[in-house]
Amino acid sequence: MKTLTDLNWLWSIGRRSRQAFPCWRLTVCILTAMIALAGCGQSTTPERTAFVFPTPTPTPLGYFAGTPQPGGVWTRALSANPTNFNPLLAADHASSAVHAMLYPALVRQDPVTGQYGSVGAMAERWDLSPDGRTWTFYLRPGVVWSDGEAVDAYDFKFTYDAIRFGNIDSPHQRLVAPIESIEIVNPLTVRVTFNEERCDALSLLRVGWLPGHRFAEDFSDVGSAFFNQSPDVSAGPFIFQSYIPNDSVVLRRNSRYWQGAPLMERMVFRIVPNAEDRLSLLLSGALDETPLTPDQLIPLLDAPQIKVASGAIDAYDFIAVNLANPASPQRGLSDEGAFLFQDPHPLLSERAVREAMAHAIDYRGIVGAIYLDQAYPLAANVLPIAPWAFDASLEQRTYNPDLARSILENSGWIDINRDGIREKDIRALRMSLIVPENNPYYMRIAEIVRDQLNSVGFDIRMQALAPSAFTRQLLSQRFDLALSGWTDFGVDPDDHELWQAATDRPGSGFNFVSYQNQRIENLLEQGLTMRGCQPQDRAPIYREIQQILYNDLPYIFLAGIVQNIGYTSQWGGITPGPWDFYHNVQTWYRLP
């Protein structure tokens, strides 16, 4: 699943919370890019906890090894206020970070592999029908809400039915669309039937559960209950205590938590919008954890009290290439489901132009100078975190300005009047590159791309836009080139909403480059609904998709992203995983 992100905040908003629904709603997440300041070599990188397999936090020398004692307050950073404490009504990162501490879910992501499963979840096991459409889940017995009521199949059904039928404005609507029916077999058994076999079925069932007994059976108060701003019942490791906007959210220990009451007394979310302020608070001990920008690794060289968990995550940055004429955007499919003719972009519809652009950009230079090596080269749309589907044979195009010039000349693009801009017929290689103005680091990437393209005969003009204007222009498809990023993919390589003609909808669809390819349409459908969903059967499909997108160039892929999380060394039991930093938070303890 993908998130259209405000990558200006990508390093700062606690991205490891996987309860969040990918932010298709642009009021929550606005496109930008994640980057940082000047260079830092390997020899100057602080000590890291690598995201491979979690290992226990080392015990400081001199610590008496005894039974960890309860107590202590853990303080973590949020960059913005949560919008709603009801998990059905919000998917912004701040809200989702709090939700993950309060609400149970049918399945959760494994902290190491990212696969959805039973670890930390309400489903102990499940059966799948022969046709692959019906899943029967067997729930954990003995789990209770903090008020003593049982957590059972009714809560799951209530939660998903509230999204399906409750007439609420939920960002999770697309998760429930493929569900045909939900049946309670008994209090600890629930049956979910999808309208077709889907290889992403488990990821669709990840929404946190509401305590159904606290709401009206007809869902009439789900959108308006006082609970949404002050939830008084929890089945997570913590219970809501207080919220002061622009200051903090405070949670307290849940003594009834099914995995055991946390040792820490409270968890405090401190709302700190500025990244430099967050770093200062981390170094001073006022914060125990915060995501880091790449440039913030440097001050940590002299901070032995801070550890860094570092690893590649499910995110990448790219340049969107509009294949259709931005003067006349139109949807990709007719009402009958047939491709609609797209008025081609006067310049970018020519593949040679896109190929030349791809060779004119110094990706490795950008990774070093802007990302500070907290990124890696990427050739296509599938990330190496899905190794079974990732095509390692594809390599990012080499930076070769002379080859770019040759490609253009061989295609008839010549600088006839010697003004530095190539022409063909009555057209000149003149176009705009839109970029969100609120991200100075992203602006630096755009400047580099502009200068490198202009050096081979383009006339690229940067257009810095306010985030809302950038989003509007991008989704309305009234752009030539756009610098952007995706995040929160998960481990499944399905990304049909980026490439299928059905999502080429000016104003709302995420195929905003107006890409059309019948072979891609067929492959995406096959990959998502493959009988049995075995990786070895799906892998050839996704590798062919990567090859086609690599050749067609609807995106110029810039880099896959590495995330760094700084955290205190004053607590024990912390075993950070790439998919869930807080997966075993109930076992953490304050060191003496």
Quick: pLDDT tens for 99-124: 999 999 999 999 999 999 999 999 99
Q: What distance in Å separates the CA atoms of residue 240 and residue 232, rounded to the nearest whole number?
A: 6
- What is the reported pLDDT for 442? 86
Q: What is the Cα 75 distance to its own chain's centre?
A: 23
Name the nearest CA neighbour of 259 among 90, 142, 105.
142
Residues 216-229 have a mean pLDDT of: 96
**68: pLDDT strictly greater than 60:** yes
**38: pLDDT strictly greater than 90:** no
Residues 512-529 have a mean pLDDT of: 98
**63: pLDDT strictly greater than 70:** no
Region label for 329, one of left (φ > 0), alpha (ψ between -120 and 50) or beta (otherwise): beta
**13: pLDDT strictly greater than 60:** no
Amino acid (one-letter) located at 424: K
Q: What distance in Å separates the CA atoms of residue 201 and residue 178, rounded to the nearest whole number?
A: 9
- What is the reported pLDDT for 490? 86
**53: pLDDT strictly greater than 80:** no
| Residue 9 DSSP symbol | G
Residues 158-167 have a mean pLDDT of: 96
Side by side, which strands form the sheet with 189-194?
123-128, 134-139, 189-194, 179-186
- What is the reported pLDDT for 66? 67
pLDDT, greater one: 29 or 341: 341
- What is the reported pLDDT for 103? 98
Name the nearest CA neighbour of 298 among 266, 314, 276.
276
Q: How confident is the model at residue 439 (pLDDT cuts 50, 70, 90)?
A: confident
- What is the reported pLDDT for 3? 52
Q: 386-393 long-range contacts, Cβ below 8 Å, gap at least 24? A: 386/491, 386/492, 386/493, 386/542, 388/535, 388/536, 388/538, 388/539, 389/493, 389/535, 389/538, 389/539, 389/542, 389/543, 390/493, 390/546, 391/542, 391/543, 391/546, 391/547
Query: The pTM is what?
Result: 0.85
**47: pLDDT strictly greater than 90:** no
Q: Angle at which helices 351-360 and 401-410 pack, to 10 degrees?
A: 170
Q: Which DSSP helix (H) or strand (E) runs through 102?
A: helix 93-102
pLDDT, greater one: 52 or 560: 560
CA distances (Å), 520 to each of 349, 418, 528, 542, 555, in order? Answer: 18, 41, 12, 10, 15
Count CB atoms within 10 A of the CB of residue 529.
16
Q: How confident is the model at residue 70 (pLDDT cuts 50, 70, 90)?
A: very high
Cβ–Cβ < 8 Å for 179, 160: yes
Q: What distance in Å separates the CA atoms of residue 204 and residue 393, rounded to the nearest whole number?
A: 31
Longest dimension (CA), the chain: 81
Cβ–Cβ < 8 Å for 572, 57: yes
Domain coordinates of the chain in residue numbers? 316-562
- What is the reported pLDDT for 409? 98
Residues 312-317 have a mean pLDDT of: 93
**31: pLDDT strictly greater than 70:** no
Residues 259-283 have a mean pLDDT of: 97
- What is the reported pLDDT for 8? 35
- What is the reported pLDDT for 9? 33
What 3-state DSSP class applies to 576?
Answer: coil
- What is the reported pLDDT for 222? 97
Q: What distance in Å separates the CA atoms of residue 292 and residue 279, rounded to the nearest whole number?
A: 8
| Residue 325 DSSP symbol | -
- What is the reported pLDDT for 151? 98
- What is the reported pLDDT for 4? 53
Residue 295, classified by CB atoms within 10 Å of its CB into exposed (0-12), middle (13-18) or buried (19+), is buried
The percent of residues above 70 in pLDDT, for the chain, comes to: 89
Q: What distance in Å separates the CA atoms of residue 39 and residue 194, rounded to the nearest whole number?
A: 49
Residue 427 pairs in a beta bridge with 424
**506: pLDDT strictly greater than 90:** yes
Average pLDDT, the chain: 89
Q: What is the Cα 515 distance to its own chain's centre?
A: 22
Q: Which DSSP helix (H) or strand (E) runs through 251?
A: strand 248-253
Q: What distance in Å separates the CA atoms of residue 100 and residue 188, rounded to the nearest whole number?
A: 22
Q: What distance in Å separates the CA atoms of residue 508 and residue 474, rounded to the nearest whole number?
A: 10
Residues 234-258 have a mean pLDDT of: 98
The percent of residues above 90 in pLDDT, for the chain, comes to: 85
pLDDT, greater one: 187 or 487: 187
Q: What share of the chain is helix, strand, coil (3-state, %, to 5)?
A: 25, 20, 50
Domain 316-562 has CATH 3.40.50.2000: no
3-state secondary structure 535-569: HHHHHHHHHHHHHHHHHHCCEEEEEEEEEEEEEEC
Cβ–Cβ < 8 Å for 434, 465: yes
Q: What distance in Å separates the CA atoms of residue 93 and residue 1, rounded to the nearest whole number?
A: 15
CA distances (Å), 258 to each of 121, 142, 148, 211, 265, in order? Answer: 10, 8, 12, 15, 17
Phi, psi for residue 379 in degrees, rounded to 5: -100, -25
- What is the reported pLDDT for 2? 52
**39: pLDDT strictly greater than 90:** no
Residue 435 pairs in a beta bridge with 464
Phi, psi for residue 47 in degrees, rounded to 5: -55, 135
Q: Which two tokens stand for residue 293?
A: 């920008």
**29: pLDDT strictly greater than 90:** no
| pLDDT tens digits along 374-396 | 999 999 999 999 999 999 999 99
Residues 6-24 have a mean pLDDT of: 33
Q: How confident is the model at residue 15 (pLDDT cuts 50, 70, 90)?
A: very low
b/e for 156-185, b at 16 or more Cβ within 10 A? bbbbbbbbbebebebbbeebbebbeebeee
What 3-state DSSP class applies to 244?
Answer: strand
Cβ–Cβ < 8 Å for 78, 65: no
Highest mean pLDDT (candidates 12-16, 263-267, 311-315):
263-267
